[in-house]
Amino acid sequence: MKQAATSLDTRTDGPGLYELSDETRRWAETQGIETGLLTVFCRHTSCSLLIQENAAPAARRDLERYFSSIAPEDAAAYEHDEEGPDDMPAHLRAALTQTSLSIPLMGGRLTLGTWQGIFLFEHRRRAHERSLALHLLGV
Amino acid sequence: MKQAATSLDTRTDGPGLYELSDETRRWAETQGIETGLLTVFCRHTSCSLLIQENAAPAARRDLERYFSSIAPEDAAAYEHDEEGPDDMPAHLRAALTQTSLSIPLMGGRLTLGTWQGIFLFEHRRRAHERSLALHLLGV
Amino acid sequence: MKQAATSLDTRTDGPGLYELSDETRRWAETQGIETGLLTVFCRHTSCSLLIQENAAPAARRDLERYFSSIAPEDAAAYEHDEEGPDDMPAHLRAALTQTSLSIPLMGGRLTLGTWQGIFLFEHRRRAHERSLALHLLGV
Q: Is C15 helix (H, G, I), strand (E, B) or coil?
A: coil
Q: What is the extent of the structural domain holding C60? A: 2-138
With CB atoms and an 8 Å threshold, state whether B56 touches C82.
yes
**Predicted local distance difference test score (pLDDT) of residue B75:** 85
Mutation site for B-interface testing, chosen from A102, A114, A119 by largest number of B Cβ within 10 Å: A102
Q: Residue C82: count other Cβ atoms within 10 Å of its Cβ.
A: 9
What residues of chain A lie within 8 A of the CB of B43, using their CB? 111-113, 116
- pLDDT for the residue A75: 85
Given a contact cutoff of 8 angstroms between Cβ atoms, the answer to whether C17 and C50 are in contact is: yes
Determine the residue of chain B that is closest to A67 in CA distance: B92
For residue A4, how many other CB atoms are within 10 A of its CB?
Answer: 18
Does the pLDDT value for residue C75 go beyond 90? no
Chain C nearest-CA distance from B128, in A, is 23
Neighbours of chain B (3+ CB pairs under 8 A): A, C
- Report which of A26, A32, A31, A66 is spatially closest to residue A50, judged by C-alpha positions: A66
Condensed to tens digits (0 to 9), the pLDDT of residues C15-33 reads 999 999 999 999 999 999 9
- Read off the pLDDT of residues B39-78 as tens digits, 9 standing for 90 and up: 999 999 999 999 999 999 999 999 999 999 999 999 899 9
As for how many domains chain B has, the answer is: 1
Nearest CB to B37 within list C39, C82, C95: C39
What average pLDDT does the structure give for chain A?
97
Beta bridge mates, C134: C6, C40
What ipTM was reported for this prediction?
0.97
First to last CA, chain B: 5
Backbone angles phi, psi at C58, to 5 degrees: -65, -35
- Residues of chain A in contact with residue B3, where contact means CB-CB under 8 angstroms, are 1, 35-36, 138-139
pTM of the prediction?
0.98
**Contact check, Cβ <8 Å, C62/A45:** no
Ranges under pLDDT 50 in chain A: none
Closest-CA residue of C relative to B101 is: C100
Domain containing residue B84: CATH number = 2.60.120.460
Instruction: Please give the share of chain C, as a percent, with pLDDT higher than 70.
Output: 100
pLDDT of residue A90: 98
- Largest interatomic CA distance in chain A: 53
The span from the CA of B76 to the CA of B64, in Å, is 22
